[in-house]
Amino acid sequence: MPAEVIYGTEIATKLRNELRKEIMSLQKKGIQPGLAVIIVGDDPASKVYVREKKRASEAIGIHSKVIELNEATSQQELLDKVLELNNDSSIHGILVQLPLPKHIDAKIIIESITPNKDVDGFHPINVGRLITNQECFVPCTPLGILYMIKDKNIPIEGKHVVVVGRSNIVGKPVGHLFLNENATVTYCHSATEDLYNHTKKADILISAVGKPNLINEQGVKDGAVVIDVGNSVLSSGKLSGDVNFDVVKEKASYITPVPKGVGPMTITMLLNNTIIAAKQS
């Protein structure tokens, strides 16, 4: 039997409706959640993401502030902006869109965001809290993946989760998130020998590399749950994940498509994290 397709679009719509209600009740208590997004330079993909974050925030009643700085902005100017937002009581979440221009050290900027407003979950304090299984802001894509799996009542405890990719934004945190849920976690990456020897043992396979067709049916166990975080733009202009969807869906029990899979969950979890930040302020 072919896999059930998990549409992030549907789960995101459901959750955003709940978040909208939560914001209305916060507003009655005089709390108006606010999110600031800083973008430096003219990267076209980043501009699209930032526009979408603003639109999604406003659609559910989050006050949204977008700060557009030009490519020549100095590291100190950006630091000053972050510090100003750290001290702005109308702003509960701060996100600095990555990548930053080469002359700016992203590590220094991320560390300048107060951890209580770090809705991206990138600050080393939040990373450390995630690894030590404490309450913290968790990066949005990993959180979205966990939310989708829980929404489908897919068991996690004791299951073997194989993560392909070790980025700080997705691969590393998603492994820790599932470890905290009592899964057994294996990480694979560009230096892994015989990738499929690992991936075909996965009960839940998460691929976050950015290589179309990296995962074919030979790399997937019968009945596995396959989560595709790949997001490559093909020469045709179409979006592609890491997984060969048409063949893998015949073998998996659940599979996420690209587009309409994990993508819509990421911004939804950013909205969720901003509401948490506002409630804790």
- Active-site amino acid positions: 53, 97, 120
Residues that bind ligand GUN (CB under 6 A): 95-98, 120, 140, 169
Which one, of 172, 257, 157, lies nearest residue 203 by Cα? 157
Smallest separation (angstroms) from ligand GUN to the CB of 242: 16
Beta bridge partners of 40: 69
H or E element, residue 71? none
Smallest separation (angstroms) from ligand GUN to the CB of 256: 17
Residue 165 marked as a ligand binder: yes
Q: Are 260 and 11 in contact (CB under 8 A)?
A: no
Residue 93 marked as a ligand binder: no
- The residue among 171 and 219 lying less far from ligand GUN, judged by its C-beta, is 171
CB-closest chain residue to ligand GUN:
98
Residue 166 marked as a ligand binder: yes
Backbone angles phi, psi at 205, to 5 degrees: -110, 125
Beta bridge partners of 96: 38
Edge-first strand listing for the sheet containing 204-207: 4-5, 254-255, 225-228, 204-207, 160-164, 184-188
- The residue among 6 and 140 lying less far from ligand GUN, judged by its C-beta, is 140
- The residue among 169 and 209 lying less far from ligand GUN, judged by its C-beta, is 169
Smallest separation (angstroms) from ligand GUN to the CB of 169: 5
Residues annotated within the binding site for NADP(+) are 165-167
